[in-house]
Amino acid sequence: MSLKDAARAVRENAYVPYSRYKVGAAIRTPSGAVHVGCNVENVAYPEGTCAEAGAIAAMCAAGETRIAEAYVVADAAEPVPPCGGCRQKLAEFAGADVKITLATMDGTEKVMTVAELLPGAFARDHMDRA
């Protein structure tokens, strides 16, 4: 299954009773495995958790810690970038040159690198003197 198909399929599982705004994400690891996530809201945290964070959690639960590429889809007029927290999570598990495809349900896609999504990302080497 392609990342696009996986992200579109898992998007349908989003639990969004407050916003009704479904987002799906799929990531491929260097091993070729695909992990998916969708956004989840709750009454105490109506903004919910993000699809990208869910896919990264699934990847880690499967014992992998590197992202080779990612695909994120939402029903919007233009491709929607990940929130700041998810950008940092992507930067933690993916190299700066890893491609992230942002897409709409209408088929519009925008491909960006992690570095373009989060220039100046905080990284491990920032803690070398700690």
Active site positions, annotated: 52
Q: For the CA atoms of the chain, what is the radius of gyration?
A: 14
Q: Is 45 annotated as a binding residue?
A: yes
Q: Residue 38, annotated ligand binder?
A: no
Name the 3-class secondary structure at 22.
coil
18 marked as part of a ligand binding site: no
Using an 8 Å Cβ cutoff, are 52 and 89 in contact?
yes
* 74 assigned binding-site residue: no
| Residue 114 is labelled as binding a ligand | no
- Cβ atoms of 39 and 20 within 8 Å: the answer is no
Spatial CA neighbour of 92 closest among 62, 48, 52, 41: 52
User: Is 41 annotated as contributing to ligand binding?
Assistant: yes
| Cβ atoms of 70 and 52 closer than 8 Å | yes
- Name residues whose C-beta falls within 8 Å of residue 107's C-beta, 6 or more positions apart in sequence: none
60 is in an annotated binding site: no
Binding residues for Zn(2+): 50, 83, 86
Binding residues: 39-45, 50, 83, 86
Binding residues for substrate: 39-45
